[in-house]
Structure 1
Amino acid sequence: MRDTVLLSLALSALPVLAMAEVPKVVTDMPVVQSLTAQVMGDLGTPAVLLDQGANPHSYQMKPSQARALQEAGLLFWVGPEMTPWLSRAIDAAGGKVPQIALLHSDGTHLQSYVDDDDDDHDHDDDHDHDDDHDHDDHADADGHSHEGLDPHAWLDPHNAGNWVSVIAAALAKADPENAATYEANAKAAQERIDTLDKDLRAELTPVKDRPFVVYHAAYGYFAAHYGLQDEGSVAFGDATDPGAAHLSALRADLKAKGVVCAFPEASHDPRPMQRLIEGTEVRLGQPLDPEGTQITPGPDLYDTLMRTIGGNLSGCLGQ
């Protein structure tokens, strides 16, 4: 009788043990959380470190967020080029946080902030994704990166689809019992991204030859993927303010390049963009949100982010 009771107790505990094997997942910013949430599905909800509305390029973690990072079973992040503050936090944790820097995962298409064909390539080199990547050469001590590798790679749907596969593989390795679920969820996410890509291409093709400028240099991947004419930005790639000489040159380009629209950004003051186009025929478009910091976090965020960018671009450029 005693053995029967013990066996019953053991069997009743199995679902709890299985659930306990799902790793505690932490992500750096909303767009990565969205892709990861699609892969995890009902198995769990990944945490996101970046507060809603905060600048991902320069952020100070709260003590509770630092603890969450140290307790993470798995961290998915873009990489140190995007969030140098997180790179420092990983180092402070002794490099013991199991982590995947998605920007440096196999199959990711990379491009530079500057026109350099040698920097545009498929990232096919082998990497140890569980090790810290030292890419401090891309950013100075303040996290400012004005040239070199552009980290906003999720704005190319090809990369988002690739990252979903990378996330699923890492989760399956950490939690083999649920590998089939991660794989199925990743396939569904990729199909959703494919549909999104087709819809955006159809929407943007009619305006692909109409030049525009943006608030900060975040849209290179998006413009390249859809063949759009992004002619420059007010702020640098990490959203730091430029000098007067840069603004003067950009203003001259408005007429010289026939710029049609200028797009401010959701989390930044629109007045610099308004001053830039004052006295010109350039239209002010709706704000863009490349990092999704103004969108409610969750599995739908990536789709919403991309469709909103596409809709705002076509809405102004198509007038």
Structure 2
Amino acid sequence: MNSKSKSKSKSKFKIRHLAALSLTAMLVVSGCGNNTAGNAASNGSPANAPSSAAAATTVPAADKLNIKVSFYPMYEFTKNITGELADVEVLIPAGTEPHDWEPTAKDMAEISDADVLVYNGAGMEGWAQQVVDGTSGSKLITVEASKGLEIMEGTEEEEGHDHEHAHEEGTVSGEADHDHEHDHEDEQGEEAHAGEGHDHGGLDPHVWLAPAMAIQEVRTIEAALSAASPENAAAFKTNSEAYIAKLQQLDQEFKDGLKDTKRKDFITQHAAFGYLAREYGLTQVPIAGLSPEQEPSAAQMAEIVEFAKANNVKTIFFETLVSSSVADTIAQEIGAKTAVLNPIEGLTEEDTRNNLDYLGVMRQNLEALSAALNE
């Protein structure tokens, strides 16, 4: 970005300072749950920052875009677009379940002092709309990565309806002609809109788990960053296209790996994989709903057990960052095993040690799904 004079810098600092104070005073921020207890992780970028095709041009720190992103997938996508041409920092610490996180007054001040805030939207970050409203008229550019995508409503499975009926009637055909611009309608045939609040407004925000939809999020972020920093637009475009090529390859790997599986349904503890299921002709049968902390009722548990026995399910999936107790209970009841299907809402310490990123974890998901669907 262009350098500012000292007087303009002082004025800018005062404006930012006043905006931060105003936000701290006026916002009562509510996240998707209570803060995760005992979390010792600190804010900052993941240790295994994604590689980028960015040019090796050295940009003075004062001239770089200051970008805050909500949680890990948004960091991965944004950092692969900017490379070293921007400072990108993730707000939700590693190892923290994003549904549980709330921004502190300090976080709010840092957001207001940034140039850009990138968040997923579709109800994932319950606090995001308040930030957008609270910074209206300021210099902060907010980017809702899922904007323009068709957001699915909570399915019958997630609302505790009959799973066997959903299995018979709700299987998504893998033969549909997708143009991957994703003018999809939800499974009830109605157009859905982004929701707010603790329960995501009854909508499914997990669009990043379908590589083809992740591509659209990358394009949305790239367009916004190019508008925010026109002098770097060409580099952002080059980086974006290089990363999109990797996502397209990943999408093809999922198509090839899942098209001829023995079964098409899978049981998962958290209803996070609806978009992935829709893309590849699968049926997600969630034990609970969209929130990973939602506890299923006794009736829902019995229904899942009945479905698993009737359909000879041998693997019950649970996710990282939350307890596997519900999946363990059902697996023990039917003599099945458990396995991880990762919603990539944050990297674990093990992921970091193994230098995994979005692409690597998604390939692990593909391997796990392929194994379970071919048992």
CA-CA distance at 1:61 after TM superposition? 2.1
| Alpha-carbon distance in 2 for matches of 1:99, 1:241 | 33
1:250-265 correspondence runs (5 A): 250-265=304-319
| Alpha-carbon distance in 1 for matches of 2:291, 2:130 | 17
CA-CA distance at 1:190 after TM superposition? 0.8
Letter in 1 for 2:268: V
1:43-62 correspondence runs (5 A): 43-62=85-104
Q: 1:256 to 1:208 in 2, by over 3 A?
A: same
Letter in 2 for 1:305: V
Q: Can you list the C-alpha shifts for 1:240-273, whole angstroms capped at 9, x where unaligned?
A: 2232222222222212344332111111111211
Q: Can you list the C-alpha shifts for 1:203-233, whole angstroms capped at 9, x where unaligned?
A: 2234262432001100001111111232x22
Q: Can you list the C-alpha shifts for 1:102-147, whole angstroms capped at 9, x where unaligned?
A: 222x3x2432222699xxx7279xxxxxxxxx95xx455xx024x7
Aligned to 1:166: 220
State whether residues 38 and 186 of structure 1, in contact with CA within 8 Å, keep that contact through their aligned partners in structure 2: yes
| Alpha-carbon distance in 1 for matches of 2:136, 2:227 | 23
CA-CA distance at 1:62 after TM superposition? 3.5
State whether residues 292 and 301 of structure 1, in contact with CA within 8 Å, keep that contact through their aligned partners in structure 2: no
CA-CA distance at 1:274 after TM superposition? 1.0
Aligned to 1:205: 259
Q: SS of the residue aligned with 2:237?
A: helix
Letter in 2 for 1:236: G
Aligned to 2:125: 83
| Alpha-carbon distance in 2 for matches of 1:281, 1:95 | 58
1:282 to 331, 336, 344: 336
Aligned to 1:191: 245
CA-CA distance at 1:192 after TM superposition? 0.7
Aligned to 1:111: 152
Q: Name the TM-score, length of structure 2 as normaliser.
A: 0.68
CA-CA distance at 1:41 after TM superposition? 1.1
State whether residues 283 and 316 of structure 1, in contact with CA within 8 Å, keep that contact through their aligned partners in structure 2: no
Q: 1:139 to 1:177 in 2, by over 3 A?
A: closer
Stretches of structure 1 lacking an aligned partner (at least 5 in a row): 1-14, 125-133
| Alpha-carbon distance in 2 for matches of 1:16, 1:306 | 32
Q: 1:95 to 1:177 in 2, by over 3 A?
A: closer
Letter in 1 for 2:326: P
Letter in 2 for 1:253: F
Residue 183 of structure 2 is aligned to residue 122 of structure 1: yes
Residue 93 of structure 2 is aligned to residue 38 of structure 1: no
Letter in 1 for 2:370: S
Residue 368 of structure 2 is aligned to residue 316 of structure 1: no
Percent identity for Structure 1 against Structure 2? 26
Letter in 2 for 1:286: V
CA-CA distance at 1:178 after TM superposition? 0.8
Q: 1:32 to 1:272 in 2, by over 3 A?
A: same
Quote the RMSD (CA, aligned, Å). Answer: 3.0
State whether residues 99 and 291 of structure 2, in contact with CA within 8 Å, keep that contact through their aligned partners in structure 1: yes
| Alpha-carbon distance in 2 for matches of 1:101, 1:182 | 18
| Alpha-carbon distance in 1 for matches of 2:224, 2:133 | 21
CA-CA distance at 1:278 after TM superposition? 1.9
Stretches of structure 2 lacking an aligned partner (at least 5 in a row): 1-56, 157-169, 173-181, 186-192
1:284-299 correspondence runs (5 A): 284-294=338-348, 295-296=351-352
State whether residues 122 and 146 of structure 2, in contact with CA within 8 Å, keep that contact through their aligned partners in structure 1: no
Q: Name the TM-score, length of structure 1 as normaliser.
A: 0.79
Aligned to 1:307: 363
| Alpha-carbon distance in 2 for matches of 1:139, 1:245 | 28
State whether residues 30 and 301 of structure 1, in contact with CA within 8 Å, keep that contact through their aligned partners in structure 2: no
| Alpha-carbon distance in 2 for matches of 1:189, 1:20 | 26
Aligned to 2:231: 177
State whether residues 70 and 119 of structure 2, in contact with CA within 8 Å, keep that contact through their aligned partners in structure 1: yes
| Alpha-carbon distance in 2 for matches of 1:19, 1:154 | 30
State whether residues 65 and 87 of structure 2, in contact with CA within 8 Å, keep that contact through their aligned partners in structure 1: no
